[in-house]
Amino acid sequence: MKIQKILKRLLQLHPKSEPSTLNRIKRLLKDLKNPENKISNLIQVVGTNSKHSLIVSIREIFETAGYTCNVNISPSLRKFNERYYFSGKYISDEDLYDLLIEVERVNNNKSISFHEIITAAWILHASRKEAEVNIMEAGALFRLDSSNVFKKNICSVVMPIGIDHLDFLKKGTIDEIVYEKCSHLLSDSKIFVSEQKNSVLEEIKKNIANNSSKKFILGEDYKYKKDNNGLIYEDKLGKLNLPLPNLLGDFQLGTVTTAIAVARNLNQFKISEYHIKESIINIKSEARLQNITHGKLRKYVSERNQIILDGAHNPLAFLAIKKYLETLNKERKVFLVLAMMSTKQHKECIQILKEKIHSITTLDIPNQTKFIKKEELSKIAQSCGIPSKTENSIEEAFKNIASENDNAIILCIGSLYFAAEILNLN
């Protein structure tokens, strides 16, 4: 409760009408004696999708090899502490409370966005909790994101880029998004580019062409192939025959492959084939094609019903979901439970799954304010030619789907906030 009160206060420090800028966080970091300059071995992760899965994959590899990691992600799912991971564990409530109070005091009620001040807090704590690897996820974009305050890193990782966060953009084109995410990546380092659409990859290459960092492009400098025995990884250092990673969906193979490329090509670390084999079968990525196999919500469905949870909330992520559904038994019906924030591309997302789902149940997102109302979302689904209805709760949605088909796949997507509510209920 004490932490929630602080977070509520921090949310009030920034007028929404003020434009994005790095000036506020740089001012606060200066008042904190520039802790960002004390952080070494920094890995920065940008992109639209799969950033979280990439980060947990990298962390698993390095920790298996015996290295300590500090990690910053956004947003969190079930608890705010998940954003702050230091040397093998999430920050305690007591330490988080003290940290936020300290940074709030130094900020002295000056204008600063919520994302900026909590990023500054992570940077301050990471500078004190020295780790051998620091991994930081960029926010919605990167050029003016609060994670873009460092003068050097050991690498930048560019994950799949697509259309999203249109409320932060002027034009909303893919070229603009790639520019915001890639044009200001740090030089004199290394840049790893994960799987991209061909047109997006060409735009990324254009944006990083004059960057002095060494480039590693998936499909050119490192590759992967799935066969009956598992995953075959290959780069200039050689070939690895690996087990399949502990992640659902073949689209995740590109994510894990990029994590392996990062680990193998950062020369300051000693990562062996054994470390990679051991780590990728232990990767855990919540709300990323997660099978809900136990918990309170299972009592509303039959033993044969499968519940799959994913935070997909943009067209690129919905395309990945579609590809995953294409690998499943076509005789099993897929019932979609959908809830989304108001700023997302609702119709574009729904249309992608039109041929793969039996019906849609729409819900409001509990404990949020900027969601699209379930009635409006249901009308959009119906306009796409998909049977749709609303429900008042996640439990009721599950119960009614299970009563209609006791061997159905219940797919819950649309928002990470929605995914968090399901995980908390479970």
Per-residue pLDDT tens for 63-82? 999 999 999 998 888 899 99
The CATH-assigned architecture of domain 290-425 is Alpha-Beta Complex (3.90)
Name the residue among 411, 415, 395 with its Cα closest to residue 403: 395
Please state, in angstroms and rounded to a whole number, the distance separating the CA atoms of residues 205 and 208.
Answer: 5
pTM: 0.92
Percent of the chain with pLDDT over 70: 97
* Chain CA centroid to CA 292, Å: 19
Question: Which residues contact residue 316 at a Cβ distance below 8 angstroms, ignoring those fewer than 6 apart?
Answer: 48, 49, 160, 161, 162, 163, 164
Structure confidence by residue, pLDDT tens digits, 264-274: 999 999 999 99
Give domain limits for the chain. Answer: 2-280, 290-425
The gap from C-alpha 359 to its chain's centroid, in whole angstroms, comes to: 27
Give the pairing type, strands 290-291 and 306-309.
Answer: antiparallel
Range 129-147 average pLDDT: 92
Residue 290 has a pLDDT of 94
How do residues 215-234 score in pLDDT, each as one tens digit? 999 999 999 999 999 999 99
Q: Coil, helix or strand for 242?
A: strand
CATH number of 2-280: 3.40.1190.10
Beta strand pairing call for 409-413 and 334-338: parallel
